[in-house]
Amino acid sequence: MQKDDCIFCKIAAKKIPSKAVYEDDEIVAFEDINPQAPVHIVVISKNHIEKLSDLAEKDSQLAGRMVMAAKNIAKENGIQESGYRIVMNCNKDGGQAVFHLHLHLLGGRAMKWPPG
C-alpha cells in the first residue's frame, strides 16, 4: 500500500536513499535530511497512511511500535538520560509538510516549551 508520488513511500521502498537507522516489517527510521537538533530521526510507517488523524483502531499496534522504535533509537544515540522529544505534526496548524505518517525524534539539545 504505497503511493507513487510520496517521498516517504519511496524511502520505505528504497527507491530513494536514506540514512536508515532501524527497519522492521512495519516501520523504517532514518536521519532527517534537515536536522533541527543534533539527533533528529524520522520514524515512518511502511504503509502509506497520510496522517495521524487517519489512524484507525487497527493501527494502534503500529503507532505503539513507532513510539517504541523512537525510544530504542534514543537510547542507542545516547540521549536517554539527557532527554528527548517525539513529535507528530498533523495537518496545516501542526506544521505537517510530508503527508505520510511519521514521528520525529529530537534530542541532543534542550528543547523549548511551548514549541513554536
Instruction: Choose between 58 and 105: whose C-beta lies nearer to ligand AMP.
Output: 105
β-partners of residue 28 are 23, 44
Positions of E strands within the chain: 20-23, 27-31, 39-45, 84-87, 102-107
Q: Which of 65, 60, 59, 79 is nearest to 28 (CA)?
A: 65
Footprint of ligand AMP on 71-110 (CB under 6 A): 89, 95-98
User: Which member of 40, 48, 102, 104 is catalytic?
Assistant: 102
Residues that bind ligand AMP (CB under 6 A): 7, 18, 30, 32-34, 42, 89, 95-98
Residues that bind Zn ion (CB under 5 A): 3, 6, 8-9, 48, 100
- Residues known to be catalytic: 102
